């Protein structure tokens, strides 16, 4: 007699299910290793040891060091923030201050980003990943805030908002890679008050 297999259960996936509770530990370990050792000297084995995980566990989640580092930085730098996460404060300056408040407050995060940026010229894979997953989302967010300000009538008619949107990220990368000056609250506030808002609106708020 023939056996009806129409409703046969799908085969179970081999292997143990992924323990996502370890992801945060591994990402934190990667951030600390990057800050202390730099991208070139950090290793997947070092990250695994710091996180108290097996190296195979790390590789199952992130097939390369670049993948792991970018995920760690996206998480730490709040790069996934979208326009919907920023309250409409009624002014461009207020909106940008809200973004600053949502950003990293830990000096170790900036140190890790500095180590990452220092290596982008040596690896196309890393450079492309940084551009796609760290730079583009931040530029897009500032551009969306500028569009919000334009809709309020705050911006100068005809001003190049696409160009202005790239300014904050460019200034931060310049400090990280060239001058080494601190990315503290005073700098971020001055960047908003003295550069971005005047460029977009034609006046200091």
Residue with tokens 């996936």: 13
Q: Write down the pLDDT at residue 20.
A: 59
Question: How many separate helices (H) and strands (E) can be counted in the chain?
Answer: 12, 0
Quick count: other Cβ atoms within 10 Å of Cβ 187? 14
Torsion of CA 125, 48, 56, 59, to 10 degrees: -20
Q: Delineate the domains of the chain, giving CATH numbers in brackets.
A: 20-73 (1.10.10.60), 80-201 (1.10.357.10)
Torsion of CA 147, 148, 149, 152, to 10 degrees: 120
In angstroms, rounded to a whole number, what is the distance separating the alpha carbons of residues 156 and 94? 18
Q: Write down the pLDDT at residue 5.
A: 38
Ordered mean pLDDT values, 10 residues apiece, the chain (205 residues): 39 45 87 82 93 93 87 71 89 91 64 77 82 88 96 96 96 88 88 96 82
Q: Write down the pLDDT at residue 11.
A: 40
């Amino acid at each position: 007699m023939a056996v009806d297999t129409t409703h046969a259960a799908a085969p179970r996936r081999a292997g143990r299910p992924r323990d996502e509770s370890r992801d945060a530990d591994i990402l934190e370990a990667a951030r600390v290793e990057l800050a202390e050792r730099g991208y070139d000297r950090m290793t997947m084995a070092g990250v695994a040891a710091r996180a108290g995980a097996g190296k195979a566990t790390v590789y199952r989640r992130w097939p390369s060091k670049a993948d792991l580092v970018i995920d760690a930085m996206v998480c730490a730098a709040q790069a996934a923030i979208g326009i919907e996460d920023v309250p409409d404060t009624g002014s461009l300056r207020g909106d940008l201050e809200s973004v600053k408040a949502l950003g990293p407050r830990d000096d170790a995060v900036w140190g890790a980003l500095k180590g990452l940026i220092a290596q982008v010229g040596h690896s196309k894979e890393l450079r492309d990943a940084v551009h796609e997953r760290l730079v583009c989302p931040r530029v897009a967010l500032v551009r969306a805030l500028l569009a919000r300000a334009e809709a309020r009538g705050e911006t100068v008619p005809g001003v190049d908002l696409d160009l202005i949107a790239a300014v904050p990220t460019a200034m931060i990368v310049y400090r990280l890679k060239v001058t080494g000056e601190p990315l503290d609250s005073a700098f971020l506030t001055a960047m908003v008050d003295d550069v971005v808002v005047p460029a977009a609106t034609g006046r200091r708020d």
